[in-house]
Structure 1
């Protein structure tokens, strides 16, 4: 009877311990930035989509900066032409 009591209590205690430690194991180090094994090399669909979204954002930002530089250059050329007319 005592043996069956120990077996029943051991069965109940094991799942509780596993569930309490699982989130810490899966989360990785806090602030590491790589929650999945393999990091960027994992190659799953989410990683590829995230990378392409970041590249698109960077491309659009560089495109906007380039357009602003071109507009500034055009304004400077126009200003130089006006100064040449006054000479």
Structure 2
């Protein structure tokens, strides 16, 4: 008669030994020549700028797709809720 939606959430507990901390040589702040130091936006070449634009575009597209899926899910759940309310109202009338 009534269908219930179930949301299952699982919590994953990882032992602390599976998570490692990265250690880099040198001082904690790093020096300007150390590996992994981000360059300033002014020093970026055309490839770096184009790559950043592509990444930003992909991120925006991904967010748009997520919003579309969430809106569809919300629409389905609202319909299910209204169906349940109408079923309850019909049962109360009898």
- Which TM-score bucket, shorter chain as reference? 0.5 to 0.7
| Structure index of larger Rg | 1
Q: How many residue pairs get matched? A: 56
Runs (5+) with no aligned partner, structure 2: 1-32, 90-94
C-alpha RMSD of matched pairs (Å) = 1.7
Q: Alpha-carbon deviations, 1:6-60, whole Å to 9, x = none?
A: xxxxxxxxxxxxxxxxxxxxxx422x144xxx53322421121011011011101
In 1, the alpha carbon distance for the partners of 2:37 and 2:70 equals 35
Q: CA deviation at 1:69?
A: 0.9
Structure 2 residue aligned with 1:51: 52
Structure 2 residue aligned with 1:29: 34
Structure 2 residue aligned with 1:84: 85
- TM-score (norm. length: structure 1): 0.54
